[in-house]
Structure 1
């Protein structure tokens, strides 16, 4: 299929890109598994704290049943891996399986000294290391906590969004923790989950939040020149028709689109207002970008 699309001399480049992507995936998954192991063995397990998601369920079952945690990590995540295989790809399922098996082996065999006895530090840094593990694994195209895979499946068949399902799932998990363990542990576990989720967001989305800006104006050429030459950002112009009133009679117009960071939005809006105070501007967040004039994010 690649040879049909690309020239024959381009196949070497395709192979190089594929190999580099595989190396990055293996590196990220390896780092993620090690970080998650540190979070579990160095912080959460010695102090009986939990996290949310599939990992939290494994930790809770480890306390309530005689089964070993390493085995529970595999058993709890198996259904999620199968869903990932059905929904996403075989590659995703294979990488996730290897990541979870490696994590289970590390949790079973490695021993780490207890780093701190302070419960607040345990919750925050345990969540941080676990979140790093989950985030790096996702960067490598795998999961070591499969709750999001289930959430995607549920969102396709119900009115719940992915975020809604994960929230409901974790609320139920923490209620069960409060009932069968104790309320204090459940509260500290909520803090662990919050720390982990914020860390995952940081690793996935980065520090900079990109904003897509769409501009509809009769002075689109002047605005495009200002953004391109004075602000140094790339702009794409779409041909569009007006949809209502007098503007609908003018089919020859451009709709501008550019991507900037959150810190640059104010400057862009100011320049637009200087040229056309009546310009219609739409802003929306963008999770990630690649290519163009946007610099490449680290870890991507």
Structure 2
């Protein structure tokens, strides 16, 4: 089901690009926007440019981020790249502003579905996650800065109407993604399981977060339990829930919102 969600979400993104944004020289945010620029000013197809720009990031991300997340991201990037190459560019609406709004909404719908399937559409998302794990730097500021570069390039290469419409498209995309998925709030997970060691190994091998393990005793059964506590971003929730089910389908999990995190939010690098 997750696999089909990734494909459907990615194809929706393709429709947003080729049917609404690209025909009016309106760009998307991030690396996709740069791919659009290359597709508009060079003979290189947008899909080919998207794949070539994402390839080195996917290789780096595979080594530094969770395996499942990157595999799902690779699926999404491949589908989007093929879709941009195969689906013809066709102007659905004549009005550029309407195309910017609806193109941003359609793109946001697709991206939101991909996020819900524990993946991403690649590009700046990978850069942001890598930087945030190496430095205590807000992802939002980083992504906003990179998107601003796309808008400025659009203004100089085409015209400032295109740049402002690109800004509208990026804004609408972000709002729709937030509505379909969630923002990047932090969550605390308390996992109570009889398979403590298996759960620990499975989470640490697939998730770039630390864990605290506490010994416990079942109140009714009087049996030994392990209590694993970790803090994740809401972005990672679906992935972590799948990992927990794989390690112990009977585990009891309490998920609560976290107001603030002090100290390292990521797992320390091994010395």
Q: Output the TM-score relative to the length of structure 2.
A: 0.65
Determine the C-alpha separation between the residues in 1 that align with 2:41 and 2:27.
13
Unaligned runs of 5+ in 1: 1-22, 213-284, 295-300
Query: How far apart are 1:93 and its partner, in Å?
Result: 2.5
The answer to whether 1:185 aligns with 2:165 is: no
Query: How far apart are 1:94 and its partner, in Å?
Result: 2.4
The answer to whether 1:168 aligns with 2:145 is: yes
The answer to whether 1:29 aligns with 2:20 is: no
Q: Any conservation in 1 of the 2:73–2:122 contact (CA below 8 Å)? A: no
Q: Which position in structure 2 is the counterpart of 1:133? A: 110
Q: Which position in structure 1 is the counterpart of 2:32? A: 55
CA spacing shift, 1:179–1:159, aligned 2, 3 Å:
farther
Structure with the greater alpha carbon radius of gyration: 1
**1:140-219 to 2 correspondences below 5 Å:** 140-158=117-135, 160-205=137-182
Which of 45, 48, 67 aligns to 1:90? It is 67
How many residues align? The count is: 197
The answer to whether 1:118 aligns with 2:95 is: yes
The answer to whether 1:66 aligns with 2:43 is: yes
- Which segment drifts farther, 83-92 or 177-186? 83-92
Unaligned runs of 5+ in 2: 189-232, 242-252, 257-271
CA spacing shift, 1:54–1:184, aligned 2, 3 Å:
same
Q: Output the TM-score relative to the length of structure 1.
A: 0.59
Superposition misfits of 4+ residues, deviation over 4 angstroms: 209-212, 285-294
Higher relative contact order (Cα pairs below 8 Å, separated by 6+ residues): 2
Aligned Cα root-mean-square deviation (Å): 2.9
Determine the C-alpha separation between the residues in 1 that align with 2:234 and 2:73.
26
Q: Any conservation in 2 of the 1:33–1:103 contact (CA below 8 Å)? A: yes
Q: Which position in structure 1 is the counterpart of 2:58? A: 81
